[in-house]
């Protein structure tokens, strides 16, 4: 029987546990958080992107449910943690010594992604499509980054934003070149 799961050919026929164990050997020192206040359909895309870039973990803050169909079952191969509150999430991340970087275009003090210098052990936080990050989340971040845009729209879709930002982290940290991380 043909294996129809959404995995690369290398993993066809492997159990979920074996895939996770193999991916754990090469996870990137990057985590992603979703401030899920509105059960946004696009959050499944953020999870799918997190799998595509082999991030260490995904944190869902607030509503536990997200669009699993949009994730295309890639959440099976990730470590996903649910935090009932923002305080619980922040305590978890800060206790481990990681940096929280908010991705938000509509904040005056946001730094341009192109010139932002990432560090190892970063958590990128994405908000809901309609409202972005909450004021409380913005206050909890170590930095806020925006994706430079040149057209008439004020923002790109949160799923697109997550892919752009994760890719920039990997590029900047030298991970795309298969060299030792520069972060």
Nearest Cα to Cα of residue 80 among 96, 49, 56, 54: 56
What is the distance, to the nearest Å, from the Cα of residue 50 to the centroid of all Cα atoms in its chain? Answer: 5
User: 27-177 is classed in which CATH architecture?
Assistant: 3-Layer(aba) Sandwich (3.40)
Q: Which residues touch 159 (CB under 8 Å, ≥6 apart)? A: 42, 43, 44, 45, 46, 48, 49, 70
On the question of pLDDT at 72 being above 70, the answer is: no
- Across the range 77-91, mean pLDDT stands at 94
pLDDT at residue 175 in the model:
80
What is the pTM assigned to this prediction? 0.90
Structure tokens at 135: 């004021």
pLDDT in tens, 9-43: 888 889 889 999 999 999 999 999 999 756 556 78
Q: Which residues touch 140 (CB under 8 Å, ≥6 apart)? A: 86, 90, 100
pLDDT in tens, 96-116: 999 999 999 888 899 999 999
Residue 145 DSSP class: E
Structure tokens at 82: 């649910």
Cβ atoms within 10 A of the Cβ of 120, count? Answer: 13
Helix, strand, or coil here: 32? strand
Structure tokens at 30: 């990057």
On the question of pLDDT at 86 being above 70, the answer is: yes
pLDDT at residue 71 in the model:
52
What is the distance, to the nearest Å, from the Cα of residue 110 to the centroid of all Cα atoms in its chain? Answer: 18
On the question of pLDDT at 1 being above 60, the answer is: no
Residue with tokens 């043909």: 2
User: What are the residue boundaries of the structural domains of the chain, listed by start?
Assistant: 27-177
């Amino acid at each position: 029987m043909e294996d129809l799961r959404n995995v690369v050919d290398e993993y066809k026929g492997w159990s979920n546990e074996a895939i996770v164990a193999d991916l754990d050997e090469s996870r990137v020192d990057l985590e992603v958080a979703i401030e899920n206040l509105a059960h946004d359909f696009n959050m499944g895309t953020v999870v799918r992107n997190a799998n595509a870039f082999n991030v260490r973990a995904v944190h869902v803050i607030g509503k536990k449910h997200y669009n699993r169909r949009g994730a295309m079952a890639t959440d099976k191969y990730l470590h996903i943690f649910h935090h009932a509150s923002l305080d619980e999430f922040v305590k978890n991340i800060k206790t481990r010594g990681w940096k929280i970087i908010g991705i938000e275009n509509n904040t005056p003090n946001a730094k341009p992604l192109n010139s932002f210098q990432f560090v190892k052990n970063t958590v990128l936080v994405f908000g809901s499509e309609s409202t972005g990050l909450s004021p409380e989340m913005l206050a909890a971040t170590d930095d806020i980054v925006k994706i430079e845009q040149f057209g008439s729209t004020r923002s790109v879709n949160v799923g697109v934003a997550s892919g752009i930002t994760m890719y920039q982290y990997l590029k900047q940290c030298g991970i795309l070149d298969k060299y030792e991380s520069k972060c």
